[in-house]
Amino acid sequence: MSKSLGSALVTILLSVTVCVILMVAAAIITDQSLYYVAAGLFAISGVAGVYVVRSLQKKIGR
């Protein structure tokens, strides 16, 4: 179970990183600030996902 949670954590981090990079690039290319908002929301969801996975790892590890 711990391996699958670790894999989930890696997947979350990679997907959030790619999304944030793409949104920032889109904001720079199109000069639209809403893409920065989207990048921030992706980052917040990534932090929340990491928090949930860490919490589950602690609960399962007991």
* Cβ pair 32, 41 in contact under 8 A: no
CA distance 60 to 25: 39
Q: How many domains does the chain have?
A: 1
Domain holding 46, by residue range, is: 2-61
Mean pLDDT estimate for the chain: 91
Contact between residue 8 and residue 52 where contact means Cβ atoms under 8 Å apart:
no
* Digit-coded pLDDT (tens) for 15-44: 999 999 999 999 999 999 999 999 999 999
With 80 as the cut, is the pLDDT of residue 1 above it? no
The confidence score (pLDDT) of residue 13 equals 92
62, 2 Cβ separation under 8 angstroms: no
Handedness of CA 39, 26, 32, 28 (dihedral sign): positive
